Amino acid sequence: MTAKMLNDNIEYLCEQSDESENYSLNFVGKKYAKYLCETDAETKIIPDEAHNNLSENINSNNIYIKGDNLEAIKHLLKTHRGKIKCIYIDPPYNTGSENFAYNDNFKRKKNHLIVSYGQTSCNSAHSAWLAFMYPRLKLAKELLSPDGVMFISIDDNEVDNLKLLCNTEIFGEENFVNCIAVKMSEPTNLKMSHQWSRFPKLKEYILFYKNYGFKKFTCIDKYKEEKWDKENNIFLENMTLDKRQRLIEFQSKEFYTDIDVKEVNKIFHGVKRIRLIDKISELGLTGDDALKWMFENAYRIVKTVGAKAYVPIVKNLSKLPNQDIGALISKDNVLFFYITDFNTKAKDPRFRVIFADENIYKNPCDFWQDIKTSGAISDEGGIKYPNGKKPLKLLERIIKMTTEKNDVILDFFSGSATTAHAVMNINAKDNGHRQYIMVQLPEKIEPTSPDKRAYIKYLEKEGIEPVISDIGIERIKRSAKRIKEETQADIDYGFKIYSLDSNKINDI
């Protein structure tokens, strides 16, 4: 089929279609979900006077709301519409299981959905989940500032439905930014037990959406490469931090001149290349000590790589500089460094110089595998949370890259309150005044399994009620205490608690 035939067919189909054939997401309960978006909050806000009047909390701008998050969002719209810079949520994944945080089972009997929504058939689990998420996301978007962003954690069960919901009903496809894959597990024996029927599941997703005014990240949260690249095997004697910084300043320029080349060549004058292994031997370093030294001195360690396009530029020089390393400008205006005694007869000589410190710190892409999600993660914040706790580093990356010092961050599925912990950590590092708003249903953990019974006993020993909101509140208190002791930062460590009178809440 030619392009013209395809276009003609598309035009014909568009002419013949009606509104019922429009591209859209339909599910049982959608009308009722839309109705919930139009109704006012039916709860009262009750402050915890005893907690809020404590000296550390009375002047705090941080908020913790105990109650249904849909009601909480409706209340927040009266005070924070258009004021939230970043929303992160980790909603139920609709896995059909019940974990420590909340009931994650949206499978309902057909008759129940028929009564609730007046429908005759449905995929009950997906419809119930979408009807649950729709009003929360729809109203939460109205809380975002013009340049605000939203991040939603999810897994394979609902990622397709969630993206379609956000693209067609909430943000619009044009405001989709990324689907970030996050490595959440290691291929242990337990995970590999299904290897003969399917590939082991190691990742989850974060859908990243923006409001219309978002332009770029506040900063880039680069991460350190843990393994040393063995190709970084040349040590530059007489290269100093000051010289390296000057080189970086030159490399960051948009346009270069012959004067720039002369200045860079002056910086390299006197710098001598020696084998890295010889330098390490000279210093008497071995094992971990050698590795630590290499990372610390990456600013004066380099490797050489091939660069065919640059070879003619160097060969056309009437005279090479009388030094080990030189600098030139490529035809496309790139400042590059090269070794001056390279093999001129080779077709693709390894002569271009790359500093090790350029590759030790890497930009995060849309696959986050540098964040550890096992081991001590369950103990972060001073309270064990065996299932569902997100790594502190994950939230720190999101908040660090998308917020300024005075922004407001919302998490209305706050669970273990990792988001609040991350906000305090970042404020302590940059003297920020970011505010957090946490929302969590005060759901009690029932002793329905051996693991849950063991966890309840653990909480009792810690003096914590087996209620999700109580766990989150205690985690914030313990995290604040520890951050203050370790950093002595002058930030807002307090928070105010509000409860919602849930007597009139309608459960969809």
| H or E element at residue 12 | helix 3-16
Quick: pLDDT tens for 338-361: 999 988 788 888 999 999 998 888
Last residue of a domain, one of 362, 379, 398: 362
pLDDT at site 116: 52
pLDDT at site 2: 60
Same domain, 71 and 196: yes
Same domain, 435 and 494: yes
Same domain, 488 and 378: yes
pLDDT at site 485: 97
Q: Quick one: what percent of the chain has pLDDT higher than 90?
A: 69
Confidence bin at 224 (pLDDT 50/70/90): confident
Specify if 506 maps to a domain.
no
Rounded distance, CA 338 to CA 304, Å? 8
The average pLDDT across 158-163 equals 96
Specify if 453 maps to a domain.
yes
Specify if 35 maps to a domain.
no
The average pLDDT across 45-54 equals 97
Quick: pLDDT tens for 134-149: 999 999 999 999 999 9
Confidence bin at 226 (pLDDT 50/70/90): confident
Same domain, 317 and 392: no
Rounded distance, CA 130 to CA 157, Å? 12
Specify if 423 maps to a domain.
yes
What CATH number does the domain containing 192 carry?
3.40.50.150
Quick: pLDDT tens for 52-81: 999 999 999 999 999 999 999 999 999 999
Rounded distance, CA 70 to CA 186, Å? 35
Same domain, 353 and 374: no
Specify if 20 maps to a domain.
no
Confidence bin at 495 (pLDDT 50/70/90): very high
Note whether 452 and 441 are within 8 A (CB). no
Same domain, 171 and 273: no
What's the domain range around 348?
Answer: 223-362
Query: How many separate domains does the chain show?
Result: 2
Same domain, 391 and 356: no
Specify if 438 maps to a domain.
yes
What is the rounded average pLDDT for all residues in the chain? 88
pLDDT at site 507: 42
Same domain, 348 and 372: no
Same domain, 253 and 132: no
Same domain, 167 and 202: yes
- Are β-strands 435-440 and 408-411 bridged in parallel, bridged antiparallel, or unpaired? parallel
Same domain, 203 and 261: no
Specify if 14 maps to a domain.
no
Last residue of a domain, one of 362, 390, 409: 362
Q: Is the pLDDT of residue 367 over 60?
A: yes
Rounded distance, CA 446 to CA 105, Å? 15
Same domain, 341 and 428: no
Rounded distance, CA 344 to CA 7, Å? 55
pLDDT at site 508: 38
Residue type, position 261, single letter: V
Last residue of a domain, one of 339, 362, 385: 362
Helix axes 276-283, 287-296, angle to 10 degrees: 120
The encoded tokens of residue 378 equal 């369950």
Quick: pLDDT tens for 409-460: 999 999 999 999 999 999 999 999 999 999 999 999 999 999 999 999 999 9
Q: Select the more confidently predicted residue: 320 or 387.
A: 320
Cα angle vertex 117, ends 113, 122, to 5°? 50
